[in-house]
Amino acid sequence: MKGDFKSGGRLERVLRAGAFAVTGELGPPRHADPEDVRKKAGYLLGNVDSANITDNQTAVVRMSSMAASLIAQGEGLEANMQMVCRDRNRIAMQSDILGAAALGVNNLLILSGDHQSFGDHPEAKNVYDLDSINLIRALRDMRDKGVLMNGRELPEGGRPRLFIGAAYNPFADPEAFRALRAKKKVDAGADFLQSQCIYDMGRYKRFMARAVDLGLTERAFFMAGVTPLKSMGMAKYMRDKVPGIIIPDALIERLKGVPKDRQAEEGVRIACEQIEELKAMEGVSGVHLMLVEWEHMIPAIVRQAGLLPRPVP
Amino acid sequence: MIIAERKPMNEITGFIEGKAKILVVGCRGCVTVCNAGGAKEVEILASLLRLGAEKEGRGLHADELTLERQCDPEYVEELSQLMDGRYGAVLSMACPIGPQYLARRYPEARVFPALNTSFLGGALAHGVWSEFCQACGDCVIHLFGGFCPISRCAKSLLNGPCGGSEGGKCEVSKETDCVWQLIVDKITADGTLDAFMAMDLVKDWRTSRDGGPRRIVRQELLR
Protein backbone atom coordinates (compact mmCIF):
# COMPACT_ATOMS: atom_id res chain seq x y z
CA MET A 1 0.00 0.00 0.00
CA LYS A 2 2.72 2.42 -0.98
CA GLY A 3 2.40 5.36 -3.32
CA ASP A 4 1.14 8.87 -2.96
CA PHE A 5 -1.00 9.75 -0.01
CA LYS A 6 -4.70 9.85 -0.71
CA SER A 7 -5.41 12.55 1.84
CA GLY A 8 -2.14 13.10 3.65
CA GLY A 9 -4.05 13.11 6.93
CA ARG A 10 -2.72 11.84 10.21
CA LEU A 11 -4.61 8.52 10.20
CA GLU A 12 -3.40 7.67 6.72
CA ARG A 13 0.18 8.58 7.56
CA VAL A 14 0.14 6.48 10.75
CA LEU A 15 -1.30 3.47 8.93
CA ARG A 16 1.06 3.76 5.98
CA ALA A 17 4.01 4.06 8.32
CA GLY A 18 3.04 0.63 9.59
CA ALA A 19 2.27 1.82 13.12
CA PHE A 20 -0.60 0.24 15.03
CA ALA A 21 -3.26 2.91 14.60
CA VAL A 22 -5.85 3.99 17.15
CA THR A 23 -9.13 5.65 16.29
CA GLY A 24 -11.84 6.76 18.64
CA GLU A 25 -15.41 7.84 18.35
CA LEU A 26 -17.12 11.12 19.17
CA GLY A 27 -20.89 11.27 19.16
CA PRO A 28 -22.10 14.82 18.41
CA PRO A 29 -24.61 16.25 20.90
CA ARG A 30 -28.37 16.33 20.53
CA HIS A 31 -28.26 20.11 20.55
CA ALA A 32 -26.36 23.04 19.05
CA ASP A 33 -23.85 23.81 21.81
CA PRO A 34 -20.34 23.27 20.39
CA GLU A 35 -18.81 23.05 23.89
CA ASP A 36 -19.93 19.45 24.15
CA VAL A 37 -17.90 18.51 21.07
CA ARG A 38 -14.87 20.46 22.33
CA LYS A 39 -15.02 18.73 25.69
CA LYS A 40 -15.16 15.25 24.16
CA ALA A 41 -12.43 16.19 21.68
CA GLY A 42 -10.27 17.05 24.66
CA TYR A 43 -10.46 13.46 25.93
CA LEU A 44 -9.56 12.06 22.52
CA LEU A 45 -6.85 14.50 21.45
CA GLY A 46 -3.41 12.98 21.71
CA ASN A 47 -4.86 9.58 22.57
CA VAL A 48 -6.16 8.60 19.16
CA ASP A 49 -4.96 9.27 15.61
CA SER A 50 -8.39 10.22 14.40
CA ALA A 51 -11.91 10.21 15.82
CA ASN A 52 -15.02 9.05 14.02
CA ILE A 53 -17.63 11.78 14.13
CA THR A 54 -20.86 9.89 13.88
CA ASP A 55 -23.67 10.83 11.50
CA ASN A 56 -26.92 10.75 13.47
CA GLN A 57 -26.00 7.36 14.90
CA THR A 58 -28.81 5.01 15.84
CA ALA A 59 -30.99 7.31 13.73
CA VAL A 60 -31.20 9.90 16.49
CA VAL A 61 -31.06 13.57 15.50
CA ARG A 62 -27.73 15.11 16.47
CA MET A 63 -25.50 17.95 15.40
CA SER A 64 -24.39 17.19 11.83
CA SER A 65 -21.24 15.15 11.45
CA MET A 66 -19.68 17.77 9.17
CA ALA A 67 -20.22 20.58 11.68
CA ALA A 68 -18.96 18.50 14.60
CA SER A 69 -15.96 17.38 12.51
CA LEU A 70 -15.02 20.97 11.92
CA ILE A 71 -15.35 21.84 15.61
CA ALA A 72 -13.23 18.81 16.58
CA GLN A 73 -10.58 19.72 14.02
CA GLY A 74 -10.54 23.22 15.48
CA GLU A 75 -9.39 21.56 18.70
CA GLY A 76 -6.61 19.77 16.84
CA LEU A 77 -8.36 16.39 16.71
CA GLU A 78 -8.39 14.79 13.26
CA ALA A 79 -11.92 13.92 12.26
CA ASN A 80 -13.05 10.78 10.52
CA MET A 81 -16.36 12.13 9.33
CA GLN A 82 -19.06 9.52 9.01
CA MET A 83 -21.69 9.66 6.31
CA VAL A 84 -24.72 7.39 6.16
CA CYS A 85 -26.83 6.64 3.09
CA ARG A 86 -30.07 6.71 5.07
CA ASP A 87 -30.79 10.42 5.04
CA ARG A 88 -29.47 11.86 1.80
CA ASN A 89 -29.55 11.16 -1.89
CA ARG A 90 -26.60 11.17 -4.28
CA ILE A 91 -26.94 14.90 -4.91
CA ALA A 92 -26.66 15.78 -1.22
CA MET A 93 -23.95 13.20 -0.47
CA GLN A 94 -21.66 14.25 -3.30
CA SER A 95 -22.24 17.85 -2.30
CA ASP A 96 -21.33 17.11 1.32
CA ILE A 97 -18.24 15.21 0.18
CA LEU A 98 -17.06 18.26 -1.74
CA GLY A 99 -17.90 20.48 1.22
CA ALA A 100 -16.16 18.27 3.77
CA ALA A 101 -13.00 18.11 1.66
CA ALA A 102 -13.09 21.88 1.19
CA LEU A 103 -13.30 22.35 4.96
CA GLY A 104 -10.19 20.25 5.55
CA VAL A 105 -11.70 16.91 6.50
CA ASN A 106 -9.21 14.13 5.65
CA ASN A 107 -11.16 10.97 6.35
CA LEU A 108 -14.67 10.05 5.34
CA LEU A 109 -16.24 6.84 6.56
CA ILE A 110 -19.26 5.60 4.65
CA LEU A 111 -22.03 3.48 6.14
CA SER A 112 -25.49 2.33 5.15
CA GLY A 113 -26.75 3.73 8.46
CA ASP A 114 -28.93 2.38 11.23
CA HIS A 115 -32.52 2.00 10.12
CA GLN A 116 -34.69 4.91 11.25
CA SER A 117 -37.11 2.57 13.00
CA PHE A 118 -34.51 2.32 15.81
CA GLY A 119 -34.18 6.06 16.26
CA ASP A 120 -36.07 9.02 17.62
CA HIS A 121 -37.91 9.81 14.38
CA PRO A 122 -39.33 6.45 13.32
CA GLU A 123 -41.89 8.36 11.21
CA ALA A 124 -39.13 9.52 8.85
CA LYS A 125 -38.86 8.51 5.21
CA ASN A 126 -35.52 6.91 4.47
CA VAL A 127 -33.57 7.57 1.32
CA TYR A 128 -31.12 4.80 0.41
CA ASP A 129 -30.72 6.23 -3.06
CA LEU A 130 -27.28 4.60 -2.93
CA ASP A 131 -25.98 1.92 -0.62
CA SER A 132 -22.65 2.23 1.17
CA ILE A 133 -20.75 0.36 -1.54
CA ASN A 134 -22.22 2.52 -4.30
CA LEU A 135 -21.15 5.61 -2.36
CA ILE A 136 -17.65 4.31 -1.61
CA ARG A 137 -17.14 3.79 -5.34
CA ALA A 138 -18.60 7.20 -6.14
CA LEU A 139 -16.21 8.87 -3.70
CA ARG A 140 -13.24 6.91 -5.04
CA ASP A 141 -14.12 8.05 -8.58
CA MET A 142 -14.50 11.65 -7.44
CA ARG A 143 -11.08 11.52 -5.84
CA ASP A 144 -9.09 9.35 -8.25
CA LYS A 145 -10.81 9.85 -11.60
CA GLY A 146 -12.05 13.36 -10.88
CA VAL A 147 -15.63 12.67 -11.91
CA LEU A 148 -19.01 12.96 -10.28
CA MET A 149 -21.44 10.06 -10.58
CA ASN A 150 -22.90 11.61 -13.72
CA GLY A 151 -19.48 11.77 -15.36
CA ARG A 152 -19.04 15.50 -14.90
CA GLU A 153 -15.37 16.29 -14.46
CA LEU A 154 -13.91 17.99 -11.43
CA PRO A 155 -10.97 20.33 -12.01
CA GLU A 156 -7.59 18.97 -10.93
CA GLY A 157 -7.45 21.06 -7.77
CA GLY A 158 -11.10 20.44 -6.98
CA ARG A 159 -11.00 16.72 -6.31
CA PRO A 160 -11.92 15.63 -2.76
CA ARG A 161 -8.70 14.28 -1.26
CA LEU A 162 -10.25 11.94 1.27
CA PHE A 163 -9.05 8.74 2.87
CA ILE A 164 -12.02 6.43 2.43
CA GLY A 165 -13.34 4.45 5.35
CA ALA A 166 -15.90 1.68 5.58
CA ALA A 167 -17.29 -0.63 8.23
CA TYR A 168 -17.29 -4.41 8.46
CA ASN A 169 -19.18 -6.71 10.74
CA PRO A 170 -17.85 -10.25 11.13
CA PHE A 171 -20.62 -11.02 13.60
CA ALA A 172 -23.65 -10.58 11.41
CA ASP A 173 -25.00 -13.32 9.18
CA PRO A 174 -24.45 -15.08 6.88
CA GLU A 175 -21.00 -15.57 8.41
CA ALA A 176 -19.41 -17.01 5.27
CA PHE A 177 -20.39 -13.92 3.29
CA ARG A 178 -19.02 -11.29 5.69
CA ALA A 179 -15.50 -11.31 4.26
CA LEU A 180 -16.94 -11.13 0.74
CA ARG A 181 -18.94 -8.07 1.71
CA ALA A 182 -15.74 -6.50 3.02
CA LYS A 183 -14.12 -7.45 -0.31
CA LYS A 184 -16.88 -5.59 -2.14
CA LYS A 185 -16.03 -2.53 -0.07
CA VAL A 186 -12.31 -2.85 -0.77
CA ASP A 187 -13.00 -3.40 -4.48
CA ALA A 188 -15.17 -0.27 -4.48
CA GLY A 189 -12.35 1.79 -3.01
CA ALA A 190 -12.28 1.58 0.79
CA ASP A 191 -8.80 2.47 2.08
CA PHE A 192 -9.49 1.43 5.67
CA LEU A 193 -12.20 -0.52 7.40
CA GLN A 194 -13.33 -0.52 11.02
CA SER A 195 -15.21 -3.41 12.56
CA GLN A 196 -18.26 -3.64 14.73
CA CYS A 197 -17.47 -4.21 18.45
CA ILE A 198 -15.56 -7.46 18.91
CA TYR A 199 -16.37 -9.72 21.83
CA ASP A 200 -16.33 -13.11 20.09
CA MET A 201 -12.61 -13.30 19.36
CA GLY A 202 -12.87 -16.76 17.80
CA ARG A 203 -15.27 -15.57 15.15
CA TYR A 204 -13.19 -12.45 14.56
CA LYS A 205 -10.09 -14.58 14.00
CA ARG A 206 -11.93 -16.72 11.48
CA PHE A 207 -13.02 -13.56 9.66
CA MET A 208 -9.52 -12.08 9.58
CA ALA A 209 -8.00 -15.35 8.35
CA ARG A 210 -10.44 -15.24 5.44
CA ALA A 211 -9.74 -11.55 4.79
CA VAL A 212 -6.01 -12.31 4.70
CA ASP A 213 -6.65 -15.26 2.36
CA LEU A 214 -8.62 -13.03 0.02
CA GLY A 215 -5.72 -10.58 -0.05
CA LEU A 216 -7.88 -7.82 1.40
CA THR A 217 -5.42 -6.81 4.09
CA GLU A 218 -2.82 -6.12 1.38
CA ARG A 219 -5.18 -3.66 -0.27
CA ALA A 220 -6.78 -1.89 2.69
CA PHE A 221 -6.19 -1.36 6.40
CA PHE A 222 -8.38 -3.41 8.71
CA MET A 223 -8.97 -1.95 12.14
CA ALA A 224 -10.59 -3.89 14.96
CA GLY A 225 -13.49 -2.39 16.91
CA VAL A 226 -13.26 -2.49 20.70
CA THR A 227 -15.85 -1.30 23.19
CA PRO A 228 -15.22 -2.03 26.87
CA LEU A 229 -18.26 -3.46 28.64
CA LYS A 230 -19.27 -1.08 31.41
CA SER A 231 -21.30 -3.60 33.34
CA MET A 232 -22.98 -6.96 33.12
CA GLY A 233 -26.24 -5.11 32.44
CA MET A 234 -24.74 -3.41 29.40
CA ALA A 235 -23.31 -6.72 28.21
CA LYS A 236 -26.69 -8.40 28.40
CA TYR A 237 -28.43 -5.45 26.77
CA MET A 238 -25.99 -5.45 23.86
CA ARG A 239 -26.22 -9.20 23.46
CA ASP A 240 -30.02 -9.21 23.43
CA LYS A 241 -30.97 -5.88 21.88
CA VAL A 242 -28.26 -4.63 19.55
CA PRO A 243 -28.39 -6.23 16.12
CA GLY A 244 -25.13 -7.69 14.85
CA ILE A 245 -23.38 -8.02 18.23
CA ILE A 246 -22.31 -11.33 19.71
CA ILE A 247 -21.21 -11.50 23.35
CA PRO A 248 -20.00 -14.92 24.45
CA ASP A 249 -21.36 -16.32 27.73
CA ALA A 250 -17.82 -16.58 29.09
CA LEU A 251 -17.51 -12.78 29.08
CA ILE A 252 -20.85 -12.34 30.84
CA GLU A 253 -19.76 -14.91 33.43
CA ARG A 254 -16.48 -13.10 33.95
CA LEU A 255 -18.29 -9.82 34.68
CA LYS A 256 -20.79 -11.62 36.86
CA GLY A 257 -17.93 -12.83 39.04
CA VAL A 258 -16.96 -9.26 39.88
CA PRO A 259 -18.80 -6.92 42.30
CA LYS A 260 -21.00 -4.40 40.52
CA ASP A 261 -18.83 -1.40 41.35
CA ARG A 262 -15.76 -3.14 39.89
CA GLN A 263 -17.40 -4.37 36.67
CA ALA A 264 -16.38 -1.31 34.63
CA GLU A 265 -12.78 -1.83 35.69
CA GLU A 266 -13.03 -5.49 34.70
CA GLY A 267 -14.58 -4.46 31.37
CA VAL A 268 -11.61 -2.22 30.68
CA ARG A 269 -9.23 -5.05 31.64
CA ILE A 270 -10.98 -7.37 29.18
CA ALA A 271 -10.71 -4.69 26.46
CA CYS A 272 -6.98 -4.28 27.12
CA GLU A 273 -6.46 -8.03 26.86
CA GLN A 274 -8.36 -7.97 23.55
CA ILE A 275 -6.18 -5.14 22.28
CA GLU A 276 -3.04 -7.14 23.15
CA GLU A 277 -4.39 -10.07 21.15
CA LEU A 278 -5.38 -7.82 18.26
CA LYS A 279 -1.94 -6.19 18.10
CA ALA A 280 -0.49 -9.60 17.32
CA MET A 281 -3.16 -10.72 14.86
CA GLU A 282 -2.23 -10.99 11.20
CA GLY A 283 -3.90 -8.38 9.03
CA VAL A 284 -5.00 -6.09 11.88
CA SER A 285 -3.64 -2.57 11.41
CA GLY A 286 -5.08 -0.89 14.47
CA VAL A 287 -7.95 -0.61 16.89
CA HIS A 288 -11.08 1.47 16.76
CA LEU A 289 -12.21 2.38 20.26
CA MET A 290 -15.92 3.04 20.50
CA LEU A 291 -16.68 4.64 23.84
CA VAL A 292 -19.78 6.59 23.01
CA GLU A 293 -20.86 8.68 26.02
CA TRP A 294 -17.82 7.25 27.85
CA GLU A 295 -15.26 9.37 26.02
CA HIS A 296 -13.64 10.52 29.28
CA MET A 297 -12.36 6.96 29.78
CA ILE A 298 -10.29 7.08 26.57
CA PRO A 299 -7.08 8.45 28.12
CA ALA A 300 -7.03 5.76 30.83
CA ILE A 301 -7.78 2.96 28.40
CA VAL A 302 -5.18 3.85 25.79
CA ARG A 303 -2.61 4.22 28.58
CA GLN A 304 -3.56 0.89 30.16
CA ALA A 305 -3.54 -0.81 26.74
CA GLY A 306 -0.02 0.43 26.05
CA LEU A 307 -1.07 2.48 23.03
CA LEU A 308 0.72 5.65 24.14
CA PRO A 309 2.42 7.72 23.05
CA ARG A 310 0.76 8.06 19.69
CA PRO A 311 3.31 8.29 16.90
CA VAL A 312 4.00 11.62 15.24
CA PRO A 313 3.80 10.67 11.57
CA MET B 1 -51.10 -7.82 -6.99
CA ILE B 2 -52.05 -4.93 -4.76
CA ILE B 3 -52.39 -6.00 -1.16
CA ALA B 4 -54.74 -3.76 0.78
CA GLU B 5 -56.15 -3.61 4.24
CA ARG B 6 -59.27 -2.03 5.64
CA LYS B 7 -58.77 1.22 7.49
CA PRO B 8 -59.46 1.25 11.24
CA MET B 9 -63.20 1.36 11.99
CA ASN B 10 -63.01 4.68 13.86
CA GLU B 11 -61.52 6.33 10.78
CA ILE B 12 -64.27 4.91 8.59
CA THR B 13 -67.06 5.87 11.02
CA GLY B 14 -65.53 9.36 11.05
CA PHE B 15 -66.01 9.53 7.27
CA ILE B 16 -69.73 8.82 7.51
CA GLU B 17 -70.51 10.83 10.64
CA GLY B 18 -73.90 12.51 10.33
CA LYS B 19 -74.76 10.72 7.09
CA ALA B 20 -78.06 8.85 6.94
CA LYS B 21 -77.49 7.11 3.63
CA ILE B 22 -74.25 5.69 2.30
CA LEU B 23 -73.00 3.43 -0.45
CA VAL B 24 -70.28 0.86 0.12
CA VAL B 25 -68.61 -0.10 -3.15
CA GLY B 26 -66.38 -3.14 -3.47
CA CYS B 27 -64.05 -4.27 -6.22
CA ARG B 28 -63.61 -7.73 -7.71
CA GLY B 29 -59.95 -7.13 -8.53
CA CYS B 30 -56.92 -7.53 -6.26
CA VAL B 31 -58.78 -6.59 -3.09
CA THR B 32 -61.19 -9.47 -3.54
CA VAL B 33 -58.28 -11.88 -3.82
CA CYS B 34 -56.62 -10.49 -0.70
CA ASN B 35 -59.90 -10.51 1.21
CA ALA B 36 -59.96 -6.78 1.84
CA GLY B 37 -62.61 -5.24 -0.41
CA GLY B 38 -64.63 -7.84 -2.28
CA ALA B 39 -68.39 -8.48 -2.03
CA LYS B 40 -67.92 -10.34 1.23
CA GLU B 41 -65.97 -7.55 2.87
CA VAL B 42 -68.47 -4.99 1.56
CA GLU B 43 -71.23 -6.92 3.28
CA ILE B 44 -69.26 -7.12 6.53
CA LEU B 45 -68.37 -3.43 6.57
CA ALA B 46 -71.91 -2.32 5.75
CA SER B 47 -73.28 -4.56 8.52
CA LEU B 48 -70.76 -3.25 11.04
CA LEU B 49 -71.65 0.32 10.20
CA ARG B 50 -75.39 -0.36 10.46
CA LEU B 51 -74.90 -2.08 13.81
CA GLY B 52 -72.74 0.74 15.08
CA ALA B 53 -75.34 3.31 14.10
CA GLU B 54 -78.10 1.25 15.68
CA LYS B 55 -76.14 1.08 18.94
CA GLU B 56 -75.99 4.84 18.93
CA GLY B 57 -79.71 4.95 18.43
CA ARG B 58 -79.76 6.30 14.90
CA GLY B 59 -80.57 4.75 11.61
CA LEU B 60 -78.15 4.19 8.78
CA HIS B 61 -79.08 3.12 5.31
CA ALA B 62 -76.08 1.43 3.74
CA ASP B 63 -76.34 0.10 0.21
CA GLU B 64 -73.83 -2.42 -1.09
CA LEU B 65 -72.44 -2.88 -4.56
CA THR B 66 -69.35 -4.54 -5.94
CA LEU B 67 -67.92 -3.56 -9.31
CA GLU B 68 -65.83 -5.72 -11.58
CA ARG B 69 -62.96 -3.24 -11.21
CA GLN B 70 -62.95 0.29 -9.87
CA CYS B 71 -59.80 1.24 -11.78
CA ASP B 72 -61.59 1.01 -15.09
CA PRO B 73 -64.00 3.73 -16.37
CA GLU B 74 -66.14 1.12 -18.07
CA TYR B 75 -67.16 -0.47 -14.76
CA VAL B 76 -67.22 2.78 -12.81
CA GLU B 77 -69.92 3.87 -15.26
CA GLU B 78 -72.26 1.26 -13.76
CA LEU B 79 -72.78 3.61 -10.80
CA SER B 80 -74.14 6.43 -12.92
CA GLN B 81 -77.80 5.73 -12.11
CA LEU B 82 -77.07 5.78 -8.38
CA MET B 83 -75.01 8.94 -8.22
CA ASP B 84 -77.88 11.37 -8.06
CA GLY B 85 -77.06 12.83 -4.69
CA ARG B 86 -78.94 10.24 -2.67
CA TYR B 87 -75.81 9.16 -0.73
CA GLY B 88 -74.16 11.33 1.87
CA ALA B 89 -70.99 9.31 1.52
CA VAL B 90 -69.57 6.71 -0.83
CA LEU B 91 -67.09 4.34 0.77
CA SER B 92 -64.83 2.71 -1.75
CA MET B 93 -63.45 -0.65 -0.74
CA ALA B 94 -61.07 -0.81 -3.68
CA CYS B 95 -57.41 0.01 -3.25
CA PRO B 96 -57.20 3.83 -3.22
CA ILE B 97 -56.99 3.84 -7.01
CA GLY B 98 -60.71 3.02 -7.02
CA PRO B 99 -61.96 6.00 -5.00
CA GLN B 100 -59.94 8.30 -7.26
CA TYR B 101 -61.75 6.92 -10.29
CA LEU B 102 -65.09 7.32 -8.52
CA ALA B 103 -64.34 10.85 -7.39
CA ARG B 104 -63.22 11.86 -10.85
CA ARG B 105 -66.26 10.42 -12.58
CA TYR B 106 -68.74 11.63 -9.95
CA PRO B 107 -67.40 14.98 -8.74
CA GLU B 108 -70.55 15.74 -6.73
CA ALA B 109 -70.22 12.61 -4.60
CA ARG B 110 -68.34 12.52 -1.30
CA VAL B 111 -66.03 9.56 -1.89
CA PHE B 112 -63.87 8.11 0.88
CA PRO B 113 -61.19 5.40 0.83
CA ALA B 114 -62.14 2.54 3.14
CA LEU B 115 -58.89 0.67 2.43
CA ASN B 116 -55.22 1.46 2.53
CA THR B 117 -52.96 0.08 -0.17
CA SER B 118 -50.43 -1.79 1.91
CA PHE B 119 -47.99 -2.99 -0.72
CA LEU B 120 -47.45 -4.97 -3.91
CA GLY B 121 -47.07 -8.57 -2.99
CA GLY B 122 -48.64 -11.94 -2.61
CA ALA B 123 -49.90 -14.47 -0.11
CA LEU B 124 -47.44 -16.59 1.88
CA ALA B 125 -50.18 -18.61 3.53
CA HIS B 126 -53.91 -18.20 4.00
CA GLY B 127 -54.24 -14.88 5.81
CA VAL B 128 -50.58 -13.89 5.45
CA TRP B 129 -49.31 -11.54 2.76
CA SER B 130 -45.88 -10.14 2.09
CA GLU B 131 -44.30 -7.42 -0.03
CA PHE B 132 -42.44 -8.47 -3.17
CA CYS B 133 -42.20 -5.40 -5.37
CA GLN B 134 -41.78 -1.66 -5.05
CA ALA B 135 -42.70 -0.80 -8.64
CA CYS B 136 -39.29 0.76 -9.25
CA GLY B 137 -39.92 0.37 -12.96
CA ASP B 138 -36.68 -1.43 -13.81
CA CYS B 139 -36.71 -4.98 -12.52
CA VAL B 140 -33.35 -6.43 -11.46
CA ILE B 141 -34.34 -9.59 -9.60
CA HIS B 142 -32.48 -11.81 -12.08
CA LEU B 143 -29.24 -10.30 -10.72
CA PHE B 144 -30.15 -11.34 -7.19
CA GLY B 145 -31.11 -14.98 -7.45
CA GLY B 146 -34.72 -14.09 -8.23
CA PHE B 147 -35.26 -12.03 -5.07
CA CYS B 148 -35.95 -8.30 -4.94
CA PRO B 149 -33.57 -6.41 -2.64
CA ILE B 150 -35.23 -3.09 -3.47
CA SER B 151 -38.55 -3.97 -1.87
CA ARG B 152 -37.50 -6.73 0.49
CA CYS B 153 -34.42 -5.21 2.14
CA ALA B 154 -35.30 -2.47 4.65
CA LYS B 155 -32.40 -0.42 3.27
CA SER B 156 -32.74 -1.52 -0.38
CA LEU B 157 -29.08 -2.59 -0.32
CA LEU B 158 -27.62 -3.89 -3.57
CA ASN B 159 -24.35 -5.37 -2.38
CA GLY B 160 -25.10 -7.78 0.41
CA PRO B 161 -26.57 -7.93 3.89
CA CYS B 162 -26.04 -5.08 6.34
CA GLY B 163 -24.56 -5.69 9.75
CA GLY B 164 -27.97 -6.36 11.24
CA SER B 165 -28.74 -9.64 9.48
CA GLU B 166 -29.09 -12.26 12.18
CA GLY B 167 -30.23 -15.84 11.93
CA GLY B 168 -31.84 -15.16 8.55
CA LYS B 169 -33.97 -12.34 9.92
CA CYS B 170 -34.01 -8.59 9.36
CA GLU B 171 -32.92 -6.31 12.21
CA VAL B 172 -35.99 -4.17 11.67
CA SER B 173 -38.38 -7.03 12.42
CA LYS B 174 -37.81 -10.59 13.50
CA GLU B 175 -40.95 -11.43 11.50
CA THR B 176 -39.21 -10.47 8.29
CA ASP B 177 -36.78 -12.68 6.43
CA CYS B 178 -33.48 -11.02 5.62
CA VAL B 179 -33.74 -11.11 1.84
CA TRP B 180 -29.95 -10.97 1.66
CA GLN B 181 -29.66 -14.24 3.52
CA LEU B 182 -31.99 -15.73 0.89
CA ILE B 183 -30.03 -14.14 -1.96
CA VAL B 184 -26.63 -15.24 -0.63
CA ASP B 185 -27.89 -18.80 -0.09
CA LYS B 186 -29.28 -18.91 -3.61
CA ILE B 187 -26.33 -17.41 -5.49
CA THR B 188 -23.91 -19.55 -3.52
CA ALA B 189 -25.86 -22.69 -4.43
CA ASP B 190 -26.43 -21.86 -8.09
CA GLY B 191 -22.88 -20.76 -8.87
CA THR B 192 -23.58 -17.11 -9.64
CA LEU B 193 -21.71 -15.72 -6.63
CA ASP B 194 -18.71 -14.67 -8.74
CA ALA B 195 -20.92 -12.71 -11.10
CA PHE B 196 -22.54 -11.03 -8.14
CA MET B 197 -19.15 -10.12 -6.66
CA ALA B 198 -18.13 -8.46 -9.91
CA MET B 199 -21.40 -6.57 -10.25
CA ASP B 200 -21.54 -2.83 -9.69
CA LEU B 201 -25.16 -1.80 -9.92
CA VAL B 202 -26.25 1.74 -9.18
CA LYS B 203 -30.00 2.14 -9.41
CA ASP B 204 -31.41 4.69 -11.81
CA TRP B 205 -34.54 5.80 -9.99
CA ARG B 206 -36.03 7.72 -12.90
CA THR B 207 -38.30 4.79 -13.67
CA SER B 208 -39.47 4.78 -10.07
CA ARG B 209 -41.71 7.36 -8.40
CA ASP B 210 -38.67 9.66 -8.30
CA GLY B 211 -39.19 10.51 -11.96
CA GLY B 212 -42.58 12.00 -11.06
CA PRO B 213 -46.00 10.35 -11.51
CA ARG B 214 -45.65 7.66 -14.12
CA ARG B 215 -47.63 6.97 -17.26
CA ILE B 216 -47.51 4.38 -20.00
CA VAL B 217 -48.76 5.01 -23.50
CA ARG B 218 -48.93 2.03 -25.86
CA GLN B 219 -49.38 3.37 -29.35
CA GLU B 220 -50.57 0.05 -30.76
CA LEU B 221 -53.46 0.02 -28.32
CA LEU B 222 -54.60 3.58 -28.94
CA ARG B 223 -57.78 3.79 -30.93
Query: pLDDT tens digits for B152-205?
Result: 999 999 999 999 999 999 999 999 999 999 999 999 999 999 999 999 999 999
CB A61 within 8 A of CB A121: yes
Asked if B160 is an interface residue toward chain A (Cβ–Cβ < 8 A), one would say yes
- Identify whether A134 is part of a domain: yes
Instruction: For B161-191, give one letter per residue: b (16+ CB within 10 A) or e.
Output: bbbbbbeebbbbeeeebbbbbbbbebbbeee
Query: pLDDT tens digits for A248-268?
Result: 999 999 999 999 999 999 999
- Identify whether A311 is part of a domain: no
Query: pLDDT tens digits for A85-102?
Result: 999 999 999 999 999 999
Interface contact flag, B166 A188, Cβ < 8 Å: no
Q: How many domains, in total, are found in chain A?
A: 1
Which chain A residues contact residue B155 at CB under 8 A?
Answer: 85-86, 112-113, 115, 126, 128, 131
- Distance of alpha carbon B98 from alpha carbon B164, whole angstroms: 39
pLDDT band at A2; cut points 50, 70, 90:
very low
- Identify whether A279 is part of a domain: yes
Region for residue B208 given its phi and psi (left: phi exceeds 0; alpha: psi -120 to 50; beta: otherwise): beta
Beta bridge partners of B129: B123
DSSP state of A187: H
- Identify whether A177 is part of a domain: yes
Tell me what pLDDT residue B223 has. 77
Spans of chain B below 50 pLDDT:
none
- Identify whether A36 is part of a domain: yes
- Measure Cα distances from A270 to A170, A226, A293 in Å: 20, 10, 19
pLDDT, average across residues A130-149: 98
pLDDT band at A242; cut points 50, 70, 90:
confident
Q: How far is A101 from chain B (nearest CA, A)?
A: 24
pLDDT band at A3; cut points 50, 70, 90:
low
CATH number of the domain where residue A91 is located: 3.20.20.220
- Identify whether A309 is part of a domain: no
Interface contact flag, A174 B163, Cβ < 8 Å: no
Selecting from B155, B188, B200 the residue whose C-beta is nearest the C-beta of A112 gives B155
Q: Domains (ranges, CATH) in chain B?
A: 2-118 (3.40.50.2300), 136-211 (no CATH)
Tell me what pLDDT residue A17 has. 96
Interface contact flag, A184 B155, Cβ < 8 Å: no
Find, in chain B, the residue whose alpha carbon is nearest to that of A85: B155
Lowest-confidence pick of A142-146, A235-239, A306-310: A235-239
pLDDT band at A116; cut points 50, 70, 90:
very high
- For chain A, what's the residue count? 313
Interface contact flag, A85 B155, Cβ < 8 Å: yes
Does the interface ipTM go beyond 0.90?
yes
- Identify whether A3 is part of a domain: no
Q: Between A90-102 and A65-74, two packed helices, what is the crossing angle to 10 degrees?
A: 10
Instruction: For A83-105, give one letter per residue: b (16+ CB within 10 A) or e.
Output: bbbbbbebeebbebbbebbeeeb
Residues spanned by the domain of A145: 10-304
A 222-281: CB under 8 A from B: 243-244
